[in-house]
Structure 1
Amino acid sequence: MPPASGSALSALARRDPGAERIFDEIAFGLGEADPYPRYRRLRETAPVLLTRDGTLVLTRHADCEAALRHRFLGRRGEVLGFGVTALPPDEPALALRSVQDSMLFADPPDHARLRRLVSSAFAGRHVEALRRAVAARTDAALRALAEAPGADFVTGFALPVPVQVIADLLGVPEEDRAWLVPRVLELGAALGPRTAPGVRDRALAAQADLTGYLTGLLAARRAEPEDDLLSRLAASRADDALTEAETVGACFLLFGAGVETTSHALGNALAALFAHPDQFDVLCRDPSLAGVAVEELLRYDAPVQADARRVLEPTAFLGIDLEPGRTVLALLGAANRDPARHEDPDRLDVTRAASHLAFAAGPHSCLGAHLARLELEVFLRRLVTGYPRCAPAGRPVRGPGLALRRFTELPVTLAS
């Protein structure tokens, strides 16, 4: 069997009932305020855990990165990243169906074909060209929050601003935004566990509405191209580079992944700074640290805490033979606080030159990482320069989920 990819892997896989109990506590302690002590206990007890159902659970940075880059570990059929483990055909929460036609759940060679067609839009120069638009939307949303002390940061900023930014990237007409934004948010509300039937039904309706809208808009761009990503996706149909379902799926993925990850990162970053006012003061004194602080905040409390891979071909990895269909689960939240990677990893230090797996690694690394970083950097700069006396205005509420770490409510008061 081919050897595992990567180097400096930490330990051989083993079963450990005590460690598995810790993992169960992590898996079922959905939305707990601080999962990091459990991550630490699991990493110290069994850094490479083989569970009773055959899942390989990883907690160290080197192992997680090796798994994410392994050529025989892919995403085909894997939906754990969205907090669910199956998609029954009669389940109404099929906001994921369109995403299934996207690169998120594709593996080579289809993955490379799908990713290549949209990756150019996320290149550094294209993302940087959005800075002015990101700054304008950030300023407007922060002003609105400042005028409503105690307002919810999640619904007032962290969700709508990334939706608007992705709409800017795609080229959605401004006059359609009031209709589009709430439907994208309805769709995103279904991407998680413990979803109520009403939420699923609204997500299904939103998916149908958005599918019809995007199909029509793509047809319009095909007839009259503009300088936007939708036009480039539409043009790719001319030589059958993308099917119609793949094209719509790519749009859904951009809204879903681009909004969800960035939204959660914004909320986590603000909450971390509230919990560490000394670090907020460091940024206020030197806003030029915003870019460095983004990486540390992503490391400290990543929006995506777990990333699953499915074994595609028989392979050996960390001392165990893996057959196709087995799951390898990389606990990114644990990896980002691996003491072998960073000294004193449980301490937030916005001056630290941090490295992390918040955007995963390998072929399925986050396509919108550059854009998320830009949105976070602009937010931090505008916050510390314009509203240095911002403060929490109520009890924050964490949302459930093993994979996605997020707030559903984060009341704030912004003041200059």
Structure 2
Amino acid sequence: MTSPVSGDPATWTRRLQLTRAAQWFAGNHSDPYALILRAVTDDPTPYEQQVVAHGPLFRSDHLDTWVTGDAALARDVLADNRFGWLTRSGHRPAEQILPLAGTALDHGPEARQRFDALTRPGGPVLPADPEGVRSRVEKTTLALLDGCGADVDLATVARRLVASVLADLLGVPSGRQGQFEEALAAAGRTLDSRLCPQTVATALSTLAGTTDLTGLLAEALAPNRGGGSASNPAVELSEAADDLVAAALALAVGTAEPAVTLLCNAIQALLSRPTQWDLLCAEPDLSAAAVEETLRWFPPVRLESRIAQEDVTLAGQLLPADGHVVVLVAAANRGVLAATDPDRDDFDLVRSVDPALGLVGGPYLARTGPLIRLVVTTALRTLAEATPTLRPASTGVRWRRSPVLLGHARLPVTQAGRHAPIR
């Protein structure tokens, strides 16, 4: 499940460099999708708008990919069973030219169905305890803030918070939680690496982090492994154990960085609009609305990748089986808003009503969306109650080569005047 791809490091390096060069070349020829994948800007919105301007379906000939930011077409693709996440032969798109991309999320539909059952609340992987999760998020958030002083890197706080909550839910022993946190952070570029070539150091770190997580989760879940049958107990026990670990790994990797990104995006959006932050502090119950608004305007997963499992006609274009389609989630969300609330052109807690498109796609978010919402909503509420004077300390820093997450490397804020929330 987490074995390195065949070949030597020099081969991996050449493949990653050539893929990066191909994306750069396409961008130089005004391919807006390639410019998105370059990921050298904090705001890819202008490139997304260029894709939309080409019509409902844009063809990136250089990168052999169809791209849509059209709201209706995006919904159709994400809901259509004729599109999957792997090729018909069971491979990740561009697997040969994007080696070391991390395998935690490389599973077909049958495996995902099994994982859905295993990771549902109350199943063998996750306890059914939303109130316990809320309490853990509140206590951990406050404890992390206490250890920071006035100046805080919210990206670091968010990663430690999410890792702590996941370790607790997955039963990682307290003595191994530091290792779990480090491994989870190392695997944090998994989603980006599936579309954008990472540096070799980052790619190897992702693979090592995934391998470490697998070992930790295998230890943590050992008491929950079911026994085999009389017909073939050893084989069935092994398959059950592998499924538990693979499901937990996909849950952890699929939850961690999207949750961190969503929380940081929400805080950044609110603090850059002080009246909105003040409104949340005055009415903490608006934390759920803040999450939905962030999903709409600044989704934590901006690109959804799909593979046609058969010949499909989209917007009058024939996509052959194994054709690659990418959905621009933020652009599609803007299209939904333009159709339903055309007078609104900015983040607004009061007018946030309908759930955004941001968490309906993706196998990992389909499972982890409720958990991500619960963690981020609770953390936002806790921050609003405990740090109403929270303000930006300096300009944040986004990861480069992060077109999917647009993840946060640092998000400096100041919490001068923090007080304990009233319960």
TM-score scaled by structure 1? 0.80
* Structure 2: runs of 5 or more not aligned: 1-26, 419-423
What residue in structure 2 maps to residue 106 of structure 1? 108
From 18, 26, 33, give the equivalent of 1:23.
Answer: 33
Cα offset, 1:133, TM superposition? 1.4
Equivalent residues, number: 372
> Equivalent residue of 1:353, what SS?
coil
Equivalent residues of 1:98, 1:248 under 8 A apart: no
Once the two structures are superposed, residues 364-412 of structure 1 have per-residue CA deviations (whole angstroms, 9 ceiling, x without a partner) of 6521111111111112211121111111112211112221122111111
**Gap change, CA 1:389 and 1:24, over 3 Å in 2:** same
Q: Does 1:154 align with 2:155?
A: yes
Q: Does 1:72 align with 2:82?
A: yes
Once the two structures are superposed, residues 225-256 of structure 1 have per-residue CA deviations (whole angstroms, 9 ceiling, x without a partner) of xxxxxx2xx22877849454433222221221
Q: Does 1:58 align with 2:68?
A: yes
Once the two structures are superposed, residues 128-168 of structure 1 have per-residue CA deviations (whole angstroms, 9 ceiling, x without a partner) of 442111221122122223x1x3331111x111111111112
> Equivalent residue of 1:348, what SS?
coil
* Structure 2: distance between partners of 1:180 and 1:247: 17
> Equivalent residue of 2:359, what SS?
coil
In structure 1, give the amino acid aligned to 2:274: P
Matches within 5 A, 1:179-190: 179-189=179-189
From 53, 57, 63, give the equivalent of 1:48.
Answer: 57
**Gap change, CA 1:97 and 1:265, over 3 Å in 2:** same
**Stretch moving more, 165-174 or 236-245:** 236-245
* Structure 2: distance between partners of 1:190 and 1:368: 16
* Structure 1: distance between partners of 2:245 and 2:215: 9
In structure 2, give the amino acid aligned to 1:213: L
In structure 2, give the amino acid aligned to 1:162: V
* Structure 2: distance between partners of 1:34 and 1:236: 51
**Gap change, CA 1:114 and 1:374, over 3 Å in 2:** closer
What residue in structure 2 maps to residue 164 of structure 1? 164
What residue in structure 2 maps to residue 38 of structure 1? 47
How many percent of aligned residue pairs carry the same amino acid?
A: 26
Q: Does 1:97 align with 2:80?
A: no
In structure 2, give the amino acid aligned to 1:171: G
**Gap change, CA 1:372 and 1:237, over 3 Å in 2:** farther
* Structure 1: runs of 5 or more not aligned: 1-16, 222-230
Once the two structures are superposed, residues 164-197 of structure 1 have per-residue CA deviations (whole angstroms, 9 ceiling, x without a partner) of 1111221112222122211221222465345333
In structure 1, give the amino acid aligned to 2:326: L
**Gap change, CA 1:31 and 1:346, over 3 Å in 2:** farther
RMSD of aligned Cα (Å): 3.0
> Equivalent residue of 1:159, what SS?
helix
Matches within 5 A, 1:161-310: 161-189=161-189, 192=193, 193=196, 195-219=198-222, 221=223, 231=224, 234-235=225-226, 240=236, 242-310=239-307
In structure 2, give the amino acid aligned to 1:97: T
Equivalent residues of 1:307, 1:360 under 8 A apart: no
* Structure 2: distance between partners of 1:268 and 1:362: 19
* Structure 1: distance between partners of 2:327 and 2:127: 27
**Gap change, CA 1:362 and 1:25, over 3 Å in 2:** closer
Equivalent residues of 1:300, 1:346 under 8 A apart: no
In structure 1, give the amino acid aligned to 2:68: L
Higher RCO by CA contacts (8 Å cutoff, separation 6 or greater)? 1
What residue in structure 1 maps to residue 399 of structure 2? 399
What residue in structure 2 maps to residue 358 of structure 1? 358
> Equivalent residue of 1:328, what SS?
strand
